[in-house]
């Protein structure tokens, strides 16, 4: 299956500001690219640096000049077309034998107050079977108990806020599920990327980047989605981190109001793509 992916966004820069963008697909999906995945920046003419952050994500760093800043891309990636893999008997390893690098995904982070929700997590899920069934129970609970709505979004909302208010956007669903999993001893990390309406009826609102989460079971990471709570096709990873603070698609160290925003994530036929190019 071929997917057309991309974005087009503009910011109003009142004075020069340092920026970091996480807009490229994750290095683990780079081999699937059929066209270059570059962050196209307008206006050009200034230095741009690429680097890999502490979580293995591809980042683009630059000093944006005063004026309208435009970031865009439009490319094709090949995907298997298969839904998210499921392994119902996947086990959760004891913390004592987990790899060193996953231990950080058991700890509290900016939006995931593990220490404040541990007792609640064990009250709700302590009787479930450790492993896949426990993670699925967490997803079922969050999906059923939290109401989705864009009007519920706010940048300071934490997992504890979501648990208390029972409403949020996709990032809030994932961060509450992450917090419960960590509290239960299952490493969990935040994930962001493309998730178009592939194989499902189109959603009645504009396309956006999506959030989900991954848990470490049976010595590998598995994708879960507490908002949609079903395996989905065409999930393309861009970045992972402890929570949303680590994977923002655009970070400016100063004012950079967003003027326009468009995300593309759709299936295309190879012959149509050839004609278009």
Q: What is the pTM of this model?
A: 0.94
pLDDT in tens, 1-59: 999 999 999 999 999 999 999 999 999 999 999 999 999 999 989 999 999 999 999 99
Same domain for 12 and 125: no
- Banded pLDDT at 276 (limits 50, 70, 90): very low
pLDDT in tens, 123-166: 999 999 999 999 999 999 999 999 999 999 999 999 999 999 99
pLDDT in tens, 182-195: 999 999 999 999 99
Cis peptide before 43 (omega within 30 of 0): yes
- Bridge partners, 260 (sequence order): 10
Q: CATH number for the domain including 265?
A: 2.60.40.2250
**Does any domain span residue 87?**
no
260 pLDDT higher than 90: yes
Give kind and range of the element (H or E) at residue 171.
helix 170-183
- Bridge partners, 120 (sequence order): none
Rounded CA-CA distance 88/81 in Å is: 21
∠ at Cα 87 (84, 88), nearest 5°? Answer: 125
**Does any domain span residue 205?**
yes
Q: How many domains does the chain fold into?
A: 2
What integer pLDDT is reported at residue 203 of this predicted model? 82
What integer pLDDT is reported at residue 275 of this predicted model? 41
What integer pLDDT is reported at residue 274 of this predicted model? 52
What integer pLDDT is reported at residue 277 of this predicted model? 47
**Does any domain span residue 88?**
no
What is the extent of the structural domain holding 272?
2-81+249-276
Q: What is the mean pLDDT of the chain?
A: 95
Q: CATH number for the domain including 221?
A: 3.10.620.30
Same domain for 99 and 40: no
Same domain for 169 and 51: no
């Amino acid at each position: 299956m071929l997917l057309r992916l991309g974005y087009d966004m503009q910011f109003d820069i009142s004075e020069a500001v340092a920026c970091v963008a996480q807009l490229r697909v994750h290095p683990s999906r780079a081999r699937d690219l059929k066209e270059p995945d570059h962050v196209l920046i307008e206006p050009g003419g200034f230095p741009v640096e690429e680097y890999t952050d502490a979580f293995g994500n591809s980042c683009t760093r630059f000093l944006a000049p005063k004026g309208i800043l435009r970031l865009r891309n439009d490319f094709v990636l090949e995907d298997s077309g298969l839904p998210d893999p499921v392994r119902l008997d996947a086990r959760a390893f004891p913390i004592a034998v987990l790899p060193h690098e996953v231990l950080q995904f058991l700890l509290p982070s900016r939006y995931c107050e593990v220490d404040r929700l541990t007792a609640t997590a064990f009250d709700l899920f302590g009787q479930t079977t450790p492993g896949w069934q426990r993670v699925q129970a967490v997803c079922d609970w969050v999906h059923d108990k939290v109401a989705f709505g864009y009007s519920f979004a706010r940048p300071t909302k934490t997992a504890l806020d979501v648990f208390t208010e029972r409403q949020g956007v996709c990032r809030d669903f994932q961060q509450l599920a992450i917090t419960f999993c960590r509290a239960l001893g299952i490493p969990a990390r935040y994930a962001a990327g493309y998730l178009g309406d592939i194989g499902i009826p189109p959603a009645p609102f504009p396309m956006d980047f999506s959030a989900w989460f991954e848990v470490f079971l049976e010595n590998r990471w598995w994708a879960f989605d507490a908002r949609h709570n079903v395996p989905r096709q065409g999930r393309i990873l861009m970045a992972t981190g402890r929570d949303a603070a680590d994977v923002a698609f655009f970070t400016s160290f100063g004012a950079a109001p967003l003027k326009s925003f468009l995300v593309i994530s759709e299936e295309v036929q190879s012959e149509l793509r050839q004609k278009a190019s």
